[in-house]
Amino acid sequence: KLLFAAFFLFTFNVLGQDLKKIIDKNDELKLQKFLNKEGDINQPILIKAVDEESDNTYTTPLSYAVGYDYPNAVKFFIDNKDKNPDFQKDLTQAFILSFSRDDITVIDMLWAENPDLSLTCELCHNANAIMIAARYGVEDWYFKLKPLSDLQFVTSENKNLLHFVAESSSEKIIKDVLTIDGLDYNLESVNGEFPVAYAAMNTHYNGVFEDFIVNGANPKLQKDLFEFVIEGNNSNALNYIFDNGMETNFWEPHPEYGYIALTYALMKTYVAGELVYEENQDKFCQTLIEMHIQDASDEGKVDEMWEVVYSGGVFYGVLDLSEDFNSIDVFATYLDLWSKLEDLGGYSILFPKKYY
């Protein structure tokens, strides 16, 4: 599934290696020396996006400097725009990419050069500027670009503004996009993804899922919607698909990670071996536990649930990640899960005393 986690770039340089090393120093003087010596500062740099669905591609030195947050290098390439015959195109791509980097100074610097808002950014899935400003919740620029942009634009991947704003961190931008007439809430991308799938993954504002439905989105069009919901820990979306009898796939392993839904949702609480607790995570896990146990009871799969949860390491795998869980609310989720399973199935698990 397409996750807009970031547009940060990993480099796998062959062509442009020497120039890339100079850009990494973020030093205008060293870049000037390179220009004086080599005479070419437009060497493409081979990169790979974090998104695993994307192919390796080349980017421009200006976009590389923006992607890696090198403002001095950005200024150098702007000051030497006369050396770049494709500056307008490169400028616009870098401008669009800059909204993913959260550096208003760089955005302002690029805007001063008059980027062409009719162009798109290959590194941003061929989106235009307002799509990426909306996606990353850059509110001032979203509203500045709105009267200047084609709000009905559809990318080469057949995505519209709704696909991008669905995961926005800005409720203000989301609410504004909902007022735009003519947007297709049931536009299917070339990868089979509808805007509502991205809304189900919004970890900032769970309400966007229901907002889309109110405005005409049909969740039943999205294949494997449950997987998107698990990705986003969206309690609103989880309740909706459960209440409406949509497919939930409680027992099917996640296609990418191999866990069942409950295990995956709980294990996502941990990043690089450290607990990252969020209130919506605990709420989501509690909701999922209730539904999973109800499903196990209805389907006569209590024994199977015990086996999956126990052997899958949902509990004991977590104990290896921290020494002290007593003060962490999400730990109560695990104890609650065991308690409810014990009541339902008559089983008992002996916990080490220190974890009571």
At 51, the amino acid letter reads D
Between the alpha carbon of residue 334 and those of residues 140, 262, 323, 355, the distances in Å are: 42, 11, 15, 11
Residue 116: count other Cβ atoms within 10 Å of its Cβ. 12
The predicted structure's pLDDT at residue 213: 96
The pTM assigned to this predicted structure is 0.79
Q: What secondary structure does DSSP assign to 162-192, as a single string?
A: HHHHTT-S-HHHHHHHTT-TT--TTPPPTTS
**In a 10 Å sphere around its CB, with 0-12 CB exposed, 13-18 middle and 19+ buried, how is residue 89 labelled?**
middle
Q: What is the mean pLDDT of the chain?
A: 79
Q: In residues, how long is the chain?
A: 356
pLDDT tier, 322 (very low <50, low <70, confident <90, very high otherwise): very low
The pLDDT of residue 100 is above 90: yes
Q: Positive or negative, the Cα torsion across 317, 5, 108, 177?
A: negative
Cβ within 8 Å of residue 210, ≥6 positions away: 236, 240
The predicted structure's pLDDT at residue 305: 64
The pLDDT of residue 344 is above 60: no
d(CA 132, CA 161): 9
Higher pLDDT among residues 248 and 35, named by residue: 35
Contact 317, 267 (CB under 8 A): yes
The pLDDT of residue 93 is above 90: yes
Higher pLDDT among residues 145 and 2, named by residue: 145
pLDDT tens by residue, 11-32: 433 345 689 999 999 999 999 9
Rounded to an integer, the average pLDDT of 199-203 is 90
Contact 148, 111 (CB under 8 A): no
The predicted structure's pLDDT at residue 198: 96
Between the alpha carbon of residue 326 and those of residues 269, 276, 330, 341, the distances in Å are: 16, 15, 10, 21
Between the alpha carbon of residue 51 and those of residues 102, 135, 152, 166, the distances in Å are: 19, 15, 25, 18
Q: What secondary structure does DSSP assign to 99-136, as a single string?
A: TTTT-HHHHHHHHTT---TT--BGGGTTB-HHHHHHHT
pLDDT tens by residue, 238-283: 888 888 888 777 777 767 666 777 776 666 654 444 444 555 666 7
Higher pLDDT among residues 65 and 287, named by residue: 65
pLDDT tier, 230 (very low <50, low <70, confident <90, very high otherwise): confident
